[in-house]
Structure formats: structure tokens, C-alpha cells
Amino acid sequence: MLDMNLIRENPEYVKSALKKKMWDVDFTELLAWDKRKKELLQVVEGNKAEMNKLSASVPAAKKAGEDVSKIFAKVKDIAASNEASEVELKEIDNKIFAFLADLPNLPDDDLVAGGKENNVAIKVVNKKPEFAFPLKDHVELATSLGLVDYDRAAKIAGRGAWIYTNLGAQLEWALLNYFVTTHLKDGYTFILPPHLLNEDTGFGAGQFPKFRSDVFWLEGMEPKRFLLPTAETALVNIYRNEILKEEELPKKLFAYTPCYRSEAGSYRTEERGMIRGYQFNKVEMVQYTKPEDSDAAFEELVNKAAALVEGLGLHFQISKLAAGDISHSMAKTYDIEVYLPSMGIYKEVSSASNARDYQARRSMCRYRDAATGKTRFVHTLNASGLATSRVFPAILEQFQQADGSVIIPPVLRPWMGGLEVLKPIKK
């Protein structure tokens, strides 16, 4: 949520920044509400002071033998007037809250305007693979190697699902173990969060109200629950409505979860197989930091995500996203994008993002400054570390051999029983 003070003091700056995200906004009505709220607060507080003054005069009036009924009558009249003002004040507060709740985060000043057409690759890692034989895509490879069963998955779950089988399940689990082991070594705290979340959690992460339809809601549950779309949603809400100690920061967390998305894609050629589905596995990193430390934390998360892909030996790039392509809650995002040879394109396997204080304002997560004793909003950051559903296909495609086999990255072999090569199954 944006700071109302910033809008009040510099509405044109906020309007211009949001336009870079392709979000047009008119603050005329909001600022009128804000002005009326200030007027009402002055009236309400003035009336309360007057009532307190009148009430305090009663003992002296009684002692002087005066009729205090007029004092009580006046207090009653002022209270009735105040009640009407407080009703109006509550209505205005609700309007202001709803207006602010719908606004996206401001993009950082260094981001260019526009959508994904303005994204820029800022780093390319490892040599793009070249092949002297006809390429197979990951769907054909996964099937011929006996790693994934798409047909039976469609039978039991419908379109947008897959079943990892035998060595495929082992390879998926090897990836997850590689990610988890690395994060533990780097000092991150391992979290296994609930998969059913409440509405306040969706709001705190900035996904609601705008993206309510993008999650799976559980019917018949009261209060309402939805299936976790990413572990970030849970992790950035763990300290909701809490005041942390300064010495507790930064908090570095990571979680493994399946992720459930209702918008599984259009099933274009580039979204075949496991590129985009209703359920996929992901390890997510989140940091809570002091404002002055969040830029360094962002670099750390980008480097950690990139190091995981580089450790697999994959060719990939890091892209700086334009303002209109970063998500609703974020101020800055770098994507780590792995190359898929069969498509000749790069696909995102991690988005590293800085939300600044946007999520913290929504979830009321603060820390107490040790020097001043005042509370400040934390900054929250996140990065996939990593999602497997595109890393798995990239491994198959980039490391495929002429005989249809696939070389297993050395870092995964300890979890594959030492196996070095995946070979086609005999029919």
C-alpha cells in the first residue's frame, strides 16, 4: 500500500510513476476525501475537548448550587453531533482505504516505462548450446526417457498436469534437494508453511483485491481459504501485525511448496508440457530488511538465484524488467531466464523482486529503531530459488545427446544414486 503522505505531498510524482506501470489514476477525489477527513478530525477532537471541559465543570457547579442539567444537556447535544461526524469519518476512512488498497506499488525511478517489450537482458551466463543433430523438445525427451507421464496425468487430473515417474521423480527431488541444501548453507531459515491461506494473507501480499480470481478458492470453508499460489504469499505475512526488534533484521527465510495457479496459460506451443501448469514445485526465498539494507538484499537474492542456475551448468540470462512488466506489489524485478533450445527462447525460472515497504504497510509489519525508539516499516523482498517446472525441461533440452540420452548435471548426481546419464527406456 502506498504512503498517503506521499500522495498528499506530491500527487503528480506518484501519478507519473504509476503511469510507467501503465496505471492511470486521478487523485482528485482521494485528496478531497483526505481534506474532509482532516476537517472532521478537527471537529471530533474539538468536540471531545469541549465535552471533557464541560464534564470537568460539573463538580464545581454542583458545589456552587448551580443547575447542572443544562451542562448535561449540552454534553448530550455535542455527543450526538460527534456521533454523526464519526459515522461520516468512518465512511471516508473506508473509501480512502479501498482506493489505496487497489493501487499498485511505485516502480523504482530507474525503471523504464512500458511492458515486456522494454525488458533488457543485462547479463548472459554460459555458452548457448549448439547441436549437430535434430533437437527434441522436453515433452518428447521426458516421455522417451520415462520421466513424465502426461497422458495418465490428464486422465486423473485434466489438462495442465503431469506425473513425475521413476527417475523423473528422482530428478525433480534432486533439484529440490540441491536448492534446499544451498539455502541452508547460506544461513536461510527453512519454513514449511500451510497451503491453505486466509484473505488477510492475500491482502498483505498485495495479491488481493486485484488478483482474487487468479487463485483457487476452497468452497464451503468459513472463513474463506485459498490455495497458496506461491510461498511468498505466506512468508511475507508471517510477521503481520508485529513489531520486530532491529537486531532481528534481516530475516532470511525460504520455503518449499507446491504452488497452485488458476491461470495455467493458453497452451500455446511455448507452454507445452510442464512450462505452465496448475500445480508446480518451487523453493522461494524471502527477506525482511531495514529500508537502507534492501538494495543490498536485492542483489544478494539475484545472485543466489543465478548461482543455482549456473551451478547446473545451464545457459541463461538475467533481465531487468520494465515498470509495466513487474508485478502489482513490486518496485523492482530482475528475471533469471533459462534458455529452451527447442523454442529458441528464454523462460523465467526466478523473479527476484523488491517490494520496498508496500507489503509491510498492508500487513502492518514494522520494526523498532534502536536509536530513536520509533517504529518503521520493514522492506520485504523475494526470489524463486528456484521453480523446477522450467529448470527440469531446460536440463533435458540443453543436455540432450544424439542418442536421445540426457546428461545429469554433476551437482544433482548425489541425489540420483550417482547416475550420470538418463537413457531412453526400452519398449
- The residues annotated with a catalytic role in the active site are 261, 276, 348, 351, 390
CA 322/CA 344 separation, integer angstroms = 22
All three cell numbers of 347, joined, read 523462460
Measure Cα distances from 268 to 264, 319, 333 in Å: 11, 23, 25
Alpha-carbon span 281 to 11, nearest angstrom:
41
DSSP bridge partners of 285:
254, 383
Q: Specify whether the CB–CB gap between 175 and 161 falls below 8 A.
A: no
Rounded Cα distance, 407 and 235, in Å: 35
CA distance 100 to 5: 12
Look-up: residue for cell 505466506? Answer: 234
- Are residues 254 and 288 in contact, defined by beta-carbon separation less than 8 angstroms? no
Euclidean distance between CA atoms 139 and 247, whole angstroms: 49
C-beta separation of 208 from 199 below 8 A: yes
Judge contact between 128 and 138, C-beta under 8 A: no
